[in-house]
Amino acid sequence: EVQLVQSGAEVKKPGESLKISCKGSGYSFTSYWIGWVRQMPGKGLEWMGIIYPGDSDTRYSPSFQGQVTISADKSISTAYLQWSSLKASDTAMYYCARGGQWPFPGWFDPWGQGTLVTVSS
């Protein structure tokens, strides 16, 4: 079974750093894009960026370029989303999802269970 399991909920203060994870199993992790999606409280889905774990090729939405960093460690089949300095506006649920095979980013299926990030002083 193809599965993505995300790290647990986080509560952080503004200005702190954070790295959340997404571990893939049941498929060849290096052969499929992994995407990250933000959902702010009560709002819709926002496409943040994708990474190809095979060679760490990464693409960002213009809205998120420079705001977050997406990375992957193929040795442990895990993708990451990180912030160097959190803001209150980063409070949201973050989902990872499997995309398509190189070079095709594809649709997202399946999705991780989500990681809730709360940033509050």
Residues forming the site for other proteins (CB under 8 A): 33, 35, 37, 44-47, 50, 52, 57, 59-62, 95, 97, 99-100, 103-114
Q: Which is nearer to other proteins, 17 or 107 (CB)?
A: 107
The partner residues of 32 in beta bridges, in order of sequence, read 101
Q: Which is nearer to other proteins, 86 or 96 (CB)?
A: 96
Supply the minimum distance, in Å, between the C-beta of residue 25 and other proteins. Answer: 16
DSSP string spanning 74-115?
Answer: GGGTEEEEEESS--GGG-EEEEEEEEEETT------SB---E
Q: Which is nearer to other proteins, 49 or 83 (CB)?
A: 49
* CA gyration radius, the chain: 14
- Are 47 and 117 a contacting pair, CB within 8 Å? no
Supply the minimum distance, in Å, between the C-beta of residue 3 and other proteins. Answer: 12
